[in-house]
Structures are given as structure tokens and as C-alpha cells.
Structure 1
Amino acid sequence: MRRLSIHPHLHDVFGEEQPPVYLAAIFLFGIGVAIAFAVLAMPVLSALPSWRAVLALILVVDIAAGCVANFTPSTNDFYVARPRNRWIFIAIHVHVVVMALLLGTGVGPAVAVWAFTIAAAIAVNLLAGHSAQTFVGGLLLSVGLAGLPLLPDLSPALAGVFALFMLKVQFSFAVDHYRNVSS
């Protein structure tokens, strides 16, 4: 499969090279989810200053596109070779809290989702190189997804983005999907 070299400034997002079809899927999914979110959250978005609505939609694109990008071998391998970068990536992911603040809704649930997601990603990342990593990542993701409907005052649009955030950070990113592991 033909691969495109990725500019060094984007290695943390896409790795060092990607097939064009993967890049297209990443962008289409990210934009598609943002469009769906905009339609579902139109009453909230239309009441905001446009800069806040645009920033919230950019965060949605980043969350959704990141879910897919983090499953690619190139992005996975980039972080396997740079464990310190993986810890930094986990630490900087405050997207759902910032998004809730921009929207002026769902801040409590966003903080709960963020705290659970970061704790789960840390636990999963600590299992790097062990066969239990994928299982624990899947288990913690399942726990988080099962807990979403229990959060108060969470719109379906935010619930969907929060679910993608959990998938992106604690499973798609924190799990080394293309490894040889010990038991």
C-alpha cells in the first residue's frame, strides 16, 4: 500500500507515514462526527458566540479524528518508540472539559469523564508490553461507556463525543495495538 510521508510537525498526530486512504478516513470521520454533533447540538451552538461554537466543533473534530488516527500502525508505532510522548499526550487531553466550558453545559459530567479517562489511560499505559493491556483497556472502556448514561444532564450529542473521547484516549491511544507481548 502506498504511503505518504507526514510532515514532522504532525508526527504526534499521524505518525511518520500514512496511506492516503487512512488519512481520508481519519478526516472524513472527524468532519462527519462534527457535522452530526452540530446538527444535534444546534440549539446550544446557536446561542453561543460564534468563536466558542467554532472552537467546540474543532475539539469534536480532534476527538473523533484522533480515535481513528490512533488505531493506525504508523501512529501506534510512533508512540511505542517514544513512551515519554505517550505520557505527555495523555496529560494534555482536557478536551471534554474545555468543550463543556465552551458550550456552557455538561461541565460536571465532563470532569467525571475526563478524570475516569485519564486514570484509565494511565493504568493501561502502565501495562505496556503485557498481554493484559488490551483486556484491561477494553474492560475500562466498557466500564466508562456503561457509566455514561448514569451521568446527569448529559445531552445525547455530548454523550457521543464523551464516548469517543474515552475510546480515543484510553483504548485507541493507550493500547499498543500492534505489539508482540509477554504473558
Structure 2
Amino acid sequence: MIIKIPSIFHEVFGKRQSVIQLIGILLFGIILTTLLFIYDPSIYYDISLWRTIVAFLFIFDIFSGCIANFTKSTSEYYANNKKKQLIFISIHFHLILVAILLGTSIWSAILVWIYTIICSFIIIFLKKDNQIFVGGFLLCTGIAGIPILGMESFMMIVSMLFLIKVLYSFSVNHYQNED
């Protein structure tokens, strides 16, 4: 079943979305974020509750957005408005904010963020026929490079999904050849 998304949520889900996809997006975000916090509770032991909650919400956004951006509705919403796409990428400081909030690898997070943002802009300005290949190439290069940065496993997971979300899931028009 397809439902019309309220305009306030168009940037997240597009204009129309399948109920199954909405449930999948939210479950992925909630379950994976919760499991990550359960897996490594030491990451937030020494910080205030408000910082933990805000970091949890940013990570939930990264994880959910990673999946949401693969949906046809969200992909088409941004493919039809390059200005909104550029703004979306430009405001994505989530990874850096998570590192600051949790007191982890700030320089590694900044390097991943810079790589992600630069590659995302490159992909957006490519001809659509080249986006999937170049996006996949840059994604694989980034994923291969993240472990070299020596960050905590918690931040490595968040960084990799941030990279997937912004660089590949969001920046590549995956439905470009459909009518």
C-alpha cells in the first residue's frame, strides 16, 4: 500500500511511500541504533544523558536515511530538485556532531565527512549514466579507507553508514533509467 507523505516529511521520505518501506526504514534505524548502543555502552558512559540522547537521534537519522534514500520516492524527490539535493548534502554535519557529542575520533570523523561531501558533489554533477559506477567506486574506496583511520568500532560503523547514506544512497539517482 502506498501512502501520501505529509509535506513536512518530503525531505525524508519523498512524496509517496510504501507502508512496507516506511516500516523497514524506521525498524532499521531503531534496531540498528539500539543494537549499536547496546554493543558498546562504554562509548556513552562518561557523557551526560542529553548528549547520549542527541547522539542516538543523529545516529538513528543516519541509519534510517541510509535506507530511505534508496527508495524510489526519496530518490525521485531529490533527482527532480538539484537545489534541494545540494542543500541536503551541505547541511549533513551529523557525523561530526556525533563525534563531538560522544567525545570520539573528531579528526577521523572530519576526514570521512570531507571525503563524503566532496564525492557527493562530484556524483551529483556527473551525467546520470555515470553516477552508479562512479558512486560505487567512490563508496568502495571510502569504505576501504575508513578502517585505516583507526577510529573506534562504534564510530567506524556510523561512519560507514554515513558514507553509504550521503555518498551512494542519496547522491546517486538509482531510478534514472525507469520511465
Band of TM-score, shorter chain: over 0.9
Separation in 1, partners of 2:6, 2:40 = 34
Displacement after TM superposition at 1:99 (Å): 0.4
Separation in 2, partners of 1:61, 1:130 = 29
**TM-score under structure 1 length normalisation:** 0.95
1:72 aligns with 2:68: no
Percent identical among aligned pairs is 37
Moved more, 109-118 or 35-44: 35-44
Query: Please, which runs of 5 or more residues in structure 2 have no aligned partner?
Result: none
1:176 aligns with 2:173: yes
Displacement after TM superposition at 1:82 (Å): 1.0
Q: Name the structure 2 match of 1:44.
A: 43
Displacement after TM superposition at 1:59 (Å): 0.7
What stretches of structure 1 move > 2 A for 4+ residues in a row? Answer: none
Q: Name the structure 1 match of 2:157.
A: 160
DSSP-derived class of the 1:46 partner = coil
Displacement after TM superposition at 1:83 (Å): 1.0
Q: Name the structure 1 match of 2:141.
A: 143
Separation in 2, partners of 1:126, 1:41 = 39
What do residues 104-154 of structure 1 show as CA deviations (whole Å, max 9, x unaligned)?
111010000000000110110111x431110000000000000011003x1
CA contact (8 A) 1:141 1:166 kept: yes
Separation in 2, partners of 1:4, 1:133 = 29
What do residues 14-73 of structure 1 show as CA deviations (whole Å, max 9, x unaligned)?
000111100000000001111122113311212110000000010110000001100000
CA contact (8 A) 2:104 2:152 kept: no
Separation in 2, partners of 1:134, 1:94 = 24
Q: Name the structure 2 match of 1:90.
A: 89
Displacement after TM superposition at 1:179 (Å): 0.7
1:2-13 equivalent positions in 2, closer than 5 A:
2-13=1-12
Alignment coverage as a number of residue pairs: 178
Separation in 2, partners of 1:120, 1:32 = 29
Separation in 1, partners of 2:140, 2:98 = 23
Q: Name the structure 1 match of 2:22.
A: 23
Instruction: Indicate which of 131, 152, 156 corresponds to 2:129.
Output: 131
